[in-house]
Amino acid sequence: MKEWHKLTLIVAVFLSAYFVPFNNPVVQVSILEAFHMLQEYAREHVLYCLIPAFFIAGAIANFVSQGAVLKYFGGGAPKYLAYTVASVSGSILAVCSCTVLPLFAGIWKKGAGIGPATAFLYSGPAINILAIILTARVLGWQLGLARAIGAVLFAIVIGLIMAFIYRREDEEKVKASMGQMVDQEERRSPTQNLIYFVVLVLILVFAAWGRPQEATGFWNFVFGIKWYVVIILLGILAFMLARWFESYERTSWVESTWNFAQQILPLLFGGVLVAGLLMGRPGVDAGLIPSHIIETAVGGNSLQANLLASVVGAFMYFATLTEIPIMQGLLGLGMGQGPALALLLAGPALSLPNMLVIRSILGTQKTLVFVVLVVIMATLSGMLYGALFPG
């Protein structure tokens, strides 16, 4: 950590301790709510979502060749291939805006271009098949279809715009990557590597599988057997690690996983605390910003309502699928159809913790551009949808 970062942190803690009115009941409740949110995040997401994601990121860093990343995600890769792969990859993973970060960091450090990488960053939590199906069933097929179309278009358009803005940096990155590439001796066949990564992804998917709203049906059946499936997959993974990998490879994989965890977890935890302090947990009106102020401001289909919904959605933290019952409640309180779509397009893909980590990977400028693009497109999409389907 740079010295001025340390000084800034020390000054911020001092000013908070000196000036924050801790005797104020609202402040006390908000601080407690921040830690409730952190506890909920730790219990529901760290073990079942983030830990598997860190191991996948470590595997990408160690066992995916740089040539493969450049072929599918590099700045010089064919656009139709790069953005198709980014979108499809996102639809497979039912992850939240934080769980996608280690995977994004993994492909970025391997040489992925800014366009395909940010398309994947957005699509991971946004193009979630299960979330889109539940949106259509609970909130109406129009909103579900609009969310699906909007999410796919967002991933592609945002990626293309980012690639255009930073095209010179991408070109330099491709040249540098080509100059640093070395032939890697593969101990495993391509089929073995594929099976290894498929098992890792399936562990993430099943471990993170949330309880469905309905107590019957296919999704509930999968939820009921998910831990049996995870145990079987862990057994398969243990067999592969013992038979297909050398000791130094396993050690290197764990070290890479730990490096990603050190980089990402402190920022995530800090971001979750701040988000909980300001806005409280989703569905709990206990933050410094009262929820009724937001609810009354997002009615109708004005530019202000859609922009506010996009900004609030971008800063709030939504666990996978939790945005749907929250939106159901907000619509019942008078939220407009347009702002509802704007929040659905901006919310699951972004959050304050997510932004802090993206900044540590991409830098401040690229992070701001990415966030602004998501907010602007969500706002415009909400206004268009609200005009077509006023509710």
Per-domain residue ranges of the chain: 25-177+245-388, 189-244
pLDDT for the residue numbered 330: 72
Tell me the torsion sign for CA atoms 88, 92, 95, 100.
negative
Q: Do residues 155 and 124 make contact, with C-beta atoms less than 8 angstroms apart?
A: no
Residue 220: the pLDDT is 80
Is 240:196 a contact under the CB 8 Å cutoff?
Answer: yes
Single-letter amino acid, residue 67: G
Statement: residue 105 has pLDDT above 70: yes
Residue showing tokens 């450090």: 109
Higher local confidence (pLDDT), 225 or 175: 225
Amino acid at 212: P
CA torsion sign for 252, 253, 257, 263 is: positive
CB atoms inside a 10 Å sphere around CB 390: 11
Angle at which helices 25-41 and 247-279 cross, to 10°: 150
Average per-residue pLDDT in the chain? 80
Q: What is the pLDDT of residues 122-160, one digit of tens each?
A: 887 777 666 776 678 777 888 888 888 888 888 889 989
Q: Which two tokens stand for residue 27?
A: 């402040």
| Residue 366 pLDDT > 90 | yes
The residue assigned the tokens 């994004």 is: 104
Q: Is the pLDDT of residue 238 over 90?
A: yes
Asked if residue 247 has pLDDT above 80, the reply is yes
Whole-number Å distance between alpha carbons of 238 and 267: 31
> HSE-up of 322 (CA within 13 Å, CB side)?
20
Dump pLDDT digits (tens) for 44-84: 777 777 788 788 878 877 887 666 777 777 766 778 888 88
Q: How far from chain centre, in Å, is Cα 132?
A: 16
CB 45 within 8 A of CB 189: no
Q: Is the dihedral of CA 205, 207, 209, 210 positive or negative?
A: negative
Cα-Cα end-to-end distance for the chain: 51
Residue with tokens 């592609």: 156
Residue in this structure with the two tokens 């996009």, named with its chain if needed: 310
Compute how many other C-beta atoms are within 10 angstroms of the C-beta atom of residue 389.
Answer: 15
State the Cα angle at 267 between 100 and 295, rounded to 5°.
Answer: 75
Q: What is the DSSP string of 135-160?
A: HHHHH-HHHHHHHHHHHHHHHHHHHH
- One-letter amino acid at 279 equals M
Angle (CA) 203 206 208, round 5°:
100
The CB-side HSE value for 78 (13 A sphere, CA atoms) comes to: 4
Structure tokens at 145: 């279809």
DSSP helix/strand/coil, 133? helix
